[in-house]
Structure 1
Amino acid sequence: MLLTTRLLAVLALVLCATGAPSTISPHVVHESRSNVPRGWAPVRRAEPTMILPLRVGLVQSNLEHLEDFVMDVSHPESSHYGKHWSAAKVAQTFRPTKESADTVRAWLVESGVDPTSVRVSAGGGWLKADVTVEQAESLLGTEYHVYQFGEDDSRVHVACHEKYHLPEHVAKHVDIVTPTLHFDVKPKLGAPQEVALDKRDGVSSDVSAHAVGQPGFGVSFPKTTGTIGTIFNELENCDEQIVPDCLRVLYSFEYIPFATDKNSIAIVEYTPQAYLPGDLDLFFGNFSPSQVGQRPVLESIDGGYDQTEYEGFGENGESDLDLQYSMSLVGPKQTVTLYQAGDLYEGASFGNLLDALDASYCTFEGGDNPEFDATYPDPYGVGYEGPEDCGTVTPAYVMSTSYSYDEVELTPAYEQRQCAEYAKLGLMGTTILYSSGDYGVAGNGGICLDSEGYESYDGTVFNPSFPGTCPYVTSVGATQVNPGASVYEPESACEQVIYSGGGFSNVFAMPSYQKAAVEHYMATYPPSYSDGTYNTSGTSRAYPDIAANGANYVVAIDGEFSLVYGTSCSSPVSASIFSAINDARLTIGKGPIGFINPTIYTPLFMEAFNDITTGNNPGCNTNGFSAEPGWDPVTGVGTPNFAKLVGLWLALP
């Protein structure tokens, strides 16, 4: 007995001397993934001495009440409708507890991490510590590998294998740990010359390839059938060419703004995507002469600027489209702000945008999230070297983004944390629109999932998109004027060049506001697919929420007019219409409409949308879903009728 006591005492001394954890609890799997994004494969174990910028995202307070909070200010029957929160109230309500920060810090320090290197973010949501791969593997019970994209040895990433673990007593305080399972981590290298550079004047292939705006890299972009020599610009030709006047007739959209000094609308772009000034003037000269010479107001985020070093449809098509149509539809009196995110070298992603909009989202002092989101100051010494924007941008009342990933390309924890941030912006009165995707029930590029959840061109399982599946954004699908039909006749789901993205999330639960509408569709028009084809649980988030025309847009690109297709068209057009509704409310002293989904799913508002009842969104060797009376997973509740909607919204508090 005495010997046992002595041994325990010696063991305790050894544990203290070696810095082993004093609080012992079993390790549990915190996050896992069954596959890696298409094109990536492990090539070797990561070097044990490589430095990783470890970031621990703390569990935010009150997230279990998030939907209740949002519904309280967004549902038209709530007594608090339109009483949006201040940024300070949002930050205070969701700030992680001191207990969470203390628990995670203690775990890191007791596990051997230098206590002087552990820092807390300005918003209190993250802990940061630079650790070696060897330390990270010990902390998280995992292995780190270097992954390579195809045969390109300049496009490599470091990520852990399959899953990582946390002590059980720590796990309940943690949302997410990075870098772990995501595929845009950038390990710290030595000198800038160690970075693999391509031939584009020193642009890092490894870095620039991960910007959301990089052509052909994992996100959705508009499509084109090429240039056109003749512009019709007549209403009788809207089935062949969509111009601003076609949209005004389709959606009963005639409005002169009065509260332009109070109202705000923003279009989000990610470098290298950029508009060309000459393209704006070419477009305005044909469709809105008074706006020739007018430009969006640039709000630079992390070194974002109007780059002209690289031109072509892949670099200019998205921005030219978004700005030409949003600016012409809101008219010359209403300023359109351009949120241009990222420099040409590091680029940017959705998290960089959210950092700039909300200081509490930033990962640490100055803002930085090294997974999926670019790091500033530029660690390679070739790009933007100012501090990363963190809470520097006042969110516009309406924001439109025409970029998307496939849900499976990211991890649920990453998506859920980001989705919660969109909810906070809704609480503050911002309407956030995202395009739903251009490949029907398939993912970007027409890729589907196999039975094990891997992306595969031979897959037959539907592949939903993100952020459109986040229940706190408004997802916008696409319609068309049918060939040979008049602009005054009903549209159908888009089936020219692109198909409206839609379906059911594999990550997010169904929000209460759409439950009745989705249940009606499933009961009245049940899809005839097996359980393994899509998420048939009946409890998952369904999308899109609304739709607008997405075919045959006349867009000036690189000095010529092209026909353009995509939900990239639908989102900025819808944003322009909702911005005008905000103007009307602001004119009579009311506030912005904010998060619109709880309102548009009410029976009264659903009747104010043009119901789309024909067409499908094929993909994955199926016809996809069908557009039917009421809400459907092709065109949502339908296309906006401005004349009806503005009256209904003016009647709300």
Structure 2
Amino acid sequence: MMLLSWSVVALAVGGLASAAPARRANYVVHEKRAAEPSSAWTVSRRLESDKILPMRFGLTQRNIDRVEEILLSISHPDSPTYGKHLSPEDVIEMFKPGSETIDVVKTWLVSSGIAPERIRISGNKGWIELNATVAEAEDLLNTEYHVYEHESGPEQISCHSYSLPEHVQPHIELVKPTVHFNHRITPGKRVPEKLKKRTGKLGAPSPYNGPKTNGETPSVTPTLDYCDEYIMPACLRALYNISYTPTQTGKNTYGVVEFTPQSYLATDLDMFFSNFSPSLVGSRPTLVSIDGGYPQSQNQSFDYNGESDLDFEYAMSLVYPQKVTLLQTGDMVEGAGFDNWLDAVDASYCTYDGGDVPSQDGIYPDTSPGGYDGPESCGVIAPPYVVSTSYGQDEVSATPAYAIRQCNEYAKLGMMGTTVLYASGDYGVAGFGGYCINATTGEESLNGTRFNPDFPSTCPYVTSVGATQVSPGYTVYEPESAAETVIYSGGGFSNIFAMPSYQATAVKHYLEAYPPPYTATQYNNSGNVRAFPDIAANGVNYIIAIDGEFELVYGTSASSPVIGSMITMANDARLAAGKGSVGFLNPVIYTPQFASAFHDITNGTNQGCGTTGFTTEVGWDPVTGLGTPDLTILMRMLLDLS
């Protein structure tokens, strides 16, 4: 994630080292590193054999092959059990590993020299945890751990691959820490640009009244006249037919995930609200502190405050008087990853029970000076009905086992009634920073030619949100285009996940009617893989108050919380009618009868990797998905569901 310190995760030895047993035969490779680290990283040394690693063995879950079937039975509008969400207890019981799996793995560990009292089993029996010396871990996994050093100084441990005994392998999904390298999640691209005084159109006054002077608060005049240059809440309400006032504020929930040190500034919120939502002046999101997270204000700059200011200025304005929950994740020393916020909403996913990966996530308690040394935030809040996350990582940086296990957790949240939204990325078909994949080596490179899709957007159990824009010179009453100002909507095809059945018809139509002019060396053109995004909203020219000034920002980071706000309002209407939350959204919106609830985007591309990328077309496309919502129509159709 952004601005985190990366460090070696091995702990000081605490008397657990023991003589390693002889190497055992019949081992098979279980995971290989998804992508080699960039040239900025070099191998420094073998990791010292007496260091301690917090080992996590993810056990093979029962019924995991039925995840899509079970989720669709709850989420597809044609299912007789639509909307009958499961309880957390139901989900744990359905997927917990069988006793044979636990016995096989425990027996292997004990026979390999691990004392039984060192082995801990999770409450949901999904993970086995133990602290092991590097020597023990290398012997267990038939691997070698090395320390990698970045040219800027930080270090990271990793192994290239690891193996398991052939009879044990079917009972373990993945082991951490192993091949997962330093690919921490990063927010979508946001390019600040100071607003400048304009001369206006046809003699009209500018909506922006200039920079702050003499201690006065800057002001912006809310107007629909300049939405092609300045997006503000009124523009979004007009674009997406938003005219609903929530009434079920005590029942409904909407969460936005932020990763420390990203945090909002209270003064920025009030500055924005003074201009656009006066009733919200003095209001703050409801804080849920995850692993020591808090809205820090000691570091102030666009990089520290831009994302969170953007998310809450718009989410809170759009859903007022509904409260918005801030899932502030990670302390100031170690930060956090996707697994950490999942821990907080699902106790069965926690680190103590297994779950987090030190090369990707924060490991708590954090004993570093200034770190959060309290107990890990495990099941501290019920999953909100909607969760928006404006962060992502290149899919190539995650091993299939890591991505699949996390993706299955999103499916479980859907089964419990949560809509999970992720921004699709801001570099078109390229990865973060414009990096693509070297088609020969599989490494990320600025000169790569293979498209670089975004995770978790490629997970078929989240709703991926792309970006649009009001075309220059157009109004909010005319069709939008794909985002092509500063950013390009992330979209494409996964290299890990199979195509879910709910989108098969729409995606295959696109591939057959508008075949992309690229080869299999440029993207996964098999026609059998998950395609993204699913939906879109404006992501260009947002006015935000940031560090005491108004600036323009761009990104699917803006699109995701806007979609989250609209689904939150739809949930409010359903709750008012005595119904449940929407939950997993995709199977509903891909049905033909919901086509009228979306504005189809048919202009623009998402260039990257030396190409024009994919094109927008009639129907679904890998630039803007199904299009942008008409909330009034979408809400009415969602309200009609059981």
Q: With structure 2 as the length reference, what TM-score do the two structures score?
A: 0.91
**CA contact under 8 A between 1:211 and 1:374: conserved in structure 2?**
no
The residue number in structure 1 matching 2:215 is: none
**CA contact under 8 A between 1:211 and 1:349: conserved in structure 2?**
yes
Q: 1:409, CA displacement in angstroms? A: 1.2
Given candidates 587, 593, 597, the residue that maps to 1:598 is 587
Q: List per-residue Cα deviations over 1:558-590 (Å, max 9, x = no partner).
A: 000000100001000000001000000100101
**CA contact under 8 A between 2:418 and 2:583: conserved in structure 1?**
yes
Provide the C-alpha distance between the structure 2 equivalents of 1:82 and 1:365, rounded to a whole number of angstroms. 30
Say which is worse superposed, 365-374 or 486-495, in terms of deviation: 365-374
Write the mapping of 1:137-156 to structure 2, written as runs, cut at 5 A: 137-149=138-150, 151-153=151-153, 155-156=154-155
Write the mapping of 1:520-531 to structure 2, written as runs, cut at 5 A: 520-531=509-520
Provide the C-alpha distance between the structure 2 equivalents of 1:491 and 1:181, rounded to a whole number of angstroms. 43
CA separation of 1:166 and 1:419: change in aligned 2, threshold 3 A: same
Which amino acid is the alignment partner of residue 353 of structure 1?
Answer: W
Provide the C-alpha distance between the structure 2 equivalents of 1:272 and 1:420, rounded to a whole number of angstroms. 28
SS in 2 for 1:522: helix
Write the mapping of 1:459-474 to structure 2, written as runs, cut at 5 A: 459-474=448-463
Q: 1:379, CA displacement in angstroms? A: 2.5
1:536 aligns with 2:534: no
**CA contact under 8 A between 2:30 and 2:163: conserved in structure 1?**
yes
1:338 aligns with 2:326: yes
1:103 aligns with 2:91: no
The residue number in structure 1 matching 2:75 is: 74
SS in 1 for 2:167: helix
Which amino acid is the alignment partner of residue 179 of structure 2?
Answer: L
**CA contact under 8 A between 1:441 and 1:624: conserved in structure 2?**
yes
CA separation of 1:33 and 1:369: change in aligned 2, threshold 3 A: closer
The residue number in structure 1 matching 2:214 is: none
The residue number in structure 1 matching 2:29 is: 29
Q: List per-residue Cα deviations over 1:526-573 (Å, max 9, x = no partner).
A: 001111110011111000000000000000000000001000010000
Provide the C-alpha distance between the structure 2 equivalents of 1:116 and 1:580, rounded to a whole number of angstroms. 50
The residue number in structure 1 matching 2:85 is: 84
The residue number in structure 1 matching 2:176 is: 178
Q: 1:267, CA displacement in angstroms? A: 0.8
SS in 2 for 1:424: helix
Provide the C-alpha distance between the structure 2 equivalents of 1:366 and 1:127, rounded to a whole number of angstroms. 6
**CA contact under 8 A between 2:498 and 2:530: conserved in structure 1?**
yes
Q: List per-residue Cα deviations over 1:311-345 (Å, max 9, x = no partner).
A: 100000000000000000011x2111111011111
SS in 1 for 2:402: helix
Provide the C-alpha distance between the structure 1 equivalents of 2:355 and 2:506, rounded to a whole number of angstroms. 40
The residue number in structure 2 matching 1:215 is: none
Write the mapping of 1:8-407 to structure 2, written as runs, cut at 5 A: 26-33=26-33, 35-38=35-38, 39-149=40-150, 151-153=151-153, 155-161=154-160, 163-184=161-182, 212=185, 218-229=186-197, 230=208, 231-331=220-320, 333-365=321-353, 369-407=357-395
Provide the C-alpha distance between the structure 2 equivalents of 1:374 and 1:61, rounded to a whole number of angstroms. 28
Q: 1:490, CA displacement in angstroms? A: 0.1
Q: 1:123, CA displacement in angstroms? A: 2.3
The residue number in structure 2 matching 1:510 is: 499
Provide the C-alpha distance between the structure 1 equivalents of 2:325 and 2:396, rounded to a whole number of angstroms. 32
Q: 1:35, CA displacement in angstroms? A: 3.1
CA separation of 1:558 and 1:456: change in aligned 2, threshold 3 A: same
Say which is worse superposed, 580-589 or 382-391, in terms of deviation: 382-391
Gaps of 5+ in 1: 1-17, 185-209, 213-217
**CA contact under 8 A between 2:127 and 2:354: conserved in structure 1?**
no
Say which is worse superposed, 466-475 or 256-265, in terms of deviation: 256-265
Which amino acid is the alignment partner of residue 339 of structure 2?
Answer: G
Q: 1:220, CA displacement in angstroms? A: 2.6
SS in 2 for 1:370: coil
**Percent identity, aligned pairs only?**
56
Q: 1:365, CA displacement in angstroms? A: 5.0
Q: With structure 1 as the length reference, what TM-score do the two structures score?
A: 0.90
Provide the C-alpha distance between the structure 1 equivalents of 2:88 and 2:264, rounded to a whole number of angstroms. 31
Q: 1:368, CA displacement in angstroms? A: 5.5
Q: 1:37, CA displacement in angstroms? A: 3.2
Provide the C-alpha distance between the structure 2 equivalents of 1:542 and 1:409, rounded to a whole number of angstroms. 18
Provide the C-alpha distance between the structure 2 equivalents of 1:590 and 1:479, rounded to a whole number of angstroms. 32
Number of matched residues?
A: 601
Provide the C-alpha distance between the structure 2 equivalents of 1:410 and 1:245, rounded to a whole number of angstroms. 39
Provide the C-alpha distance between the structure 1 equivalents of 2:509 and 2:608, rounded to a whole number of angstroms. 23
**CA contact under 8 A between 2:570 and 2:635: conserved in structure 1?**
yes
Q: List per-residue Cα deviations over 1:591-638 (Å, max 9, x = no partner).
A: 110000000000011221000001000000000000000000000000
The residue number in structure 2 matching 1:498 is: 487
SS in 2 for 1:249: helix
Provide the C-alpha distance between the structure 2 equivalents of 1:305 and 1:343, rounded to a whole number of angstroms. 8
CA separation of 1:302 and 1:228: change in aligned 2, threshold 3 A: farther
CA separation of 1:419 and 1:34: change in aligned 2, threshold 3 A: closer
Q: 1:232, CA displacement in angstroms? A: 4.9
CA separation of 1:34 and 1:378: change in aligned 2, threshold 3 A: closer
Q: List per-residue Cα deviations over 1:190-230 (Å, max 9, x = no partner).
A: xxxxxxxxxxxxxxxxxxxx874xxxxx5434222234452
**CA contact under 8 A between 1:221 and 1:403: conserved in structure 2?**
no
Provide the C-alpha distance between the structure 2 equivalents of 1:483 and 1:405, rounded to a whole number of angstroms. 31
Provide the C-alpha distance between the structure 2 equivalents of 1:560 and 1:167, rounded to a whole number of angstroms. 59
The residue number in structure 1 matching 2:216 is: none
Which amino acid is the alignment partner of residue 173 of structure 1?
Answer: H
